[in-house]
């Protein structure tokens, strides 16, 4: 057998914990267990028919749908992205400042790849989306994690100031956020923008949950000032807003030099995102689907039910998240308690016990840089949510 040595850079990363836990919950389900998997960050709604129909029509027509497009997207789609940024966010971009990629995850990967060298530091507020630190490490950078759990999951200017060093190249912000659902208001984001103003620090603003805000309003970081615009790569996509996770389309608007470098990187990896998915996205971006307000209402009602249900479980504290479709309750009250013969030592043990004994899947907060918390997605049916709450409450009552 040859000794196939793996690259050091892959040794620095771990597989996605959320995808792994989702797969585990699905496997238990396949074994016939009545598991409620609140693990995945995926809308449970169908991609709206007009979006699918746009793709079906293009497939029937043939021709361009089976061909390469320019690396960063078709001119029509780039125009639609520019219009979206102008309409929703008041941001003005030229076509060369836009890049369409294979999901927002790919957009962020390209952006970090274009910006980060060995030894560069990237400030990542915690709790964070699991892929940020992994991507940073993959590209040789160092994630500098700044805990926000004591300030309502909002990065304070003081904490940010303390984390900045001469090696800081990039700050990642994500409102509404995964895993907390926290929505950072204009004042909070302005305070952050003021700290980085005048520096050479780039900002990735991951706004993938923009359309899922229940309290307050979405704020585009790049819209805060000319200075913020000049340093910010605004990331968005179709997955969460339009129930299009499988279509794999994300996009950015940002500083010309950065987007050009991202485009070059993409030109040697995926080339253009799948042509038929670009055509479907064109329909989605031209007009928000008519279903969106109703989805938002349903998510909000589920959120309220989840928060109330969790707070009624002994030892659990759950803040009300303003957006996305996650709750991020504090389970530290369960640590050290016993369920039968098992001591709940940490959030991983809590999630393991909840999955195997209560048949409810959640993701340990430690995976997001917040040990003692658990993330549940409420992109699930009303019945599933009701059942999950009942099971968690019953489990809580059984703890000694
Ligand atoms: C905060 C955040 N950013 C980006 C993504 C990636 O989205 P996409 O499916 O478009 O790659 C996700 C998906 O889970 C997310 O939660």
List, chain by chain if needed, residues with CB within 6 Å of any ligand 1 atom. 41, 103-105, 129, 174, 178, 206, 208, 237, 239, 245, 250
Q: How much distance in Å is there from the Cα of 178 to the middle of ligand 1?
A: 9
Task: Look up residue 326 and give its DSSP letter.
Answer: E
The answer to whether the beta carbons of residues 42 and 377 sit under 8 Å apart is: yes
- CATH 3.40.640.10 intervals, the chain: 49-286
Q: What is the pLDDT at residue 8?
A: 92
CA distance 257 to 261: 6
CATH number of 49-286: 3.40.640.10
Query: Which of 298, 367, 355 lies closest to 306 in space, CA to CA?
Result: 298
Q: List the residue whose alpha carbon is closest to atom 7 of ligand 1.
A: 104
| Placement of tokens 């799948």 in the chain | 274
Q: What is the pLDDT at residue 14?
A: 85
DSSP result, 87-148: HHH-----GGGEEEESSHHHHHHHHHHHH--TT-EEEEEES--THHHHHHHHTT-EEEEEE-
- CATH 3.90.1150.10 intervals, the chain: 8-46+291-398
Q: How much distance in Å is there from the Cα of 108 to the middle of ligand 1?
A: 9
Please give the CATH architecture assigned to the domain spanning 8-46+291-398.
Alpha-Beta Complex (3.90)
Per-residue pLDDT for the chain (400 aa), expressed as one digit of tens each? 999 999 999 999 987 777 777 888 889 989 999 999 999 889 999 999 999 999 999 999 999 999 999 999 999 999 999 999 999 999 999 999 999 999 999 999 999 999 999 999 999 999 999 999 999 999 999 999 999 999 999 999 999 999 999 999 999 999 999 999 999 999 999 999 999 999 999 999 999 999 999 999 999 999 999 999 999 999 999 999 999 999 999 999 999 999 999 999 999 999 999 999 999 999 999 989 999 999 999 999 999 999 999 999 999 999 999 999 999 999 999 999 999 999 999 999 999 999 999 999 999 999 999 999 999 999 999 999 999 999 999 999 999 9
CA distance 300 to 216: 13
- Judging by DSSP bridges, how do beta strands 121-126 and 202-206 pair with one another? unpaired
Query: Which of 373, 292, 321 lies closest to 51 in space, CA to CA?
Result: 292
Query: Which of 22, 107, 17, 57 lies closest to 364 in space, CA to CA?
Result: 17
Q: What is the pLDDT at residue 26?
A: 87
Lookup: tokens for 115: 């910006």
- Judging by DSSP bridges, how do beta strands 121-126 and 168-173 pair with one another? parallel
Ligand 1 pocket, mutate which of 21, 41, 175, 238 (most atoms under 8 A from CB): 41
Task: Please compute Rg for the chain using Cα positions.
Answer: 21
Torsion of CA 5, 9, 10, 14, to 10 degrees: 140
């Amino acid at each position: 057998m040859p000794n196939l040595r793996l690259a050091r850079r892959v040794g620095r990363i771990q597989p996605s914990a959320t995808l792994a836990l989702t797969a585990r919950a699905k496997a238990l389900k396949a074994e016939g267990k009545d598991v409620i998997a609140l693990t995945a960050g995926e809308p449970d709604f169908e991609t709206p028919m007009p979006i699918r129909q746009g793709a079906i029509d293009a497939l029937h027509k043939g021709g361009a749908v089976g061909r390469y497009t320019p690396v960063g997207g078709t001119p029509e789609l780039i125009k639609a992205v520019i219009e979206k940024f102008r309409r929703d966010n008041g941001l003005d971009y030229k076509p060369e400042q836009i890049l369409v990629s294979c999901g927002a995850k790919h957009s962020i990967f390209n952006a970090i790849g274009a910006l980060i060298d060995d030894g560069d530091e990237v400030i990542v507020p915690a709790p964070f989306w699991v892929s940020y630190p992994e991507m940073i490490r993959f590209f040789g950078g160092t994630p500098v994690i700044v805990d926000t759990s004591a300030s309502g999951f909002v990065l304070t200017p003081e904490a940010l100031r303390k984390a900045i060093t001469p090696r800081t190249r990039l700050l990642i912000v994500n409102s509404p956020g995964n895993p907390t659902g926290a929505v950072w208001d204009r004042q909070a984001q302005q305070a952050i923008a003021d700290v980085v103003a005048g520096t050479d620090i780039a900002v990735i603003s991951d706004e993938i949950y923009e359309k899922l805000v229940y309290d307050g309003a979405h704020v585009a970081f790049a819209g805060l000032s000319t200075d913020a615009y000049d340093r910010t790569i605004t990331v968005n996509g179709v997955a969460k807003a339009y129930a299009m996770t499988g279509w794999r389309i994300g996009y950015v608007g940002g500083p010309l030099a950065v987007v050009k470098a991202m485009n070059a990187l993409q030109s040697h990896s995926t080339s253009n995102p799948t042509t038929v998915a670009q055509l479907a996205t064109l329909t989605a971006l031209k007009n928000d689907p008519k279903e969106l307000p109703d989805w938002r209402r349903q998510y909000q009602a589920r959120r309220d039910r989840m928060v109330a249900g969790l707070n009624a479980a002994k030892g659990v504290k759950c803040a009300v998240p303003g957006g996305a479709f996650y709750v991020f309750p504090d389970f530290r009250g369960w640590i050290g308690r016993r369920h039968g013969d098992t001591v709940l030592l940490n959030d991983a043990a809590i999630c393991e016990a909840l999955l195997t004994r209560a048949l409810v899947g959640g993701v340990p907060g430690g995976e997001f840089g917040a040990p003692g918390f658990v993330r549940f997605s409420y992109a699930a049916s009303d019945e599933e949510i009701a059942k999950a709450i009942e099971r968690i409450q019953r489990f809580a009552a059984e703890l000694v």
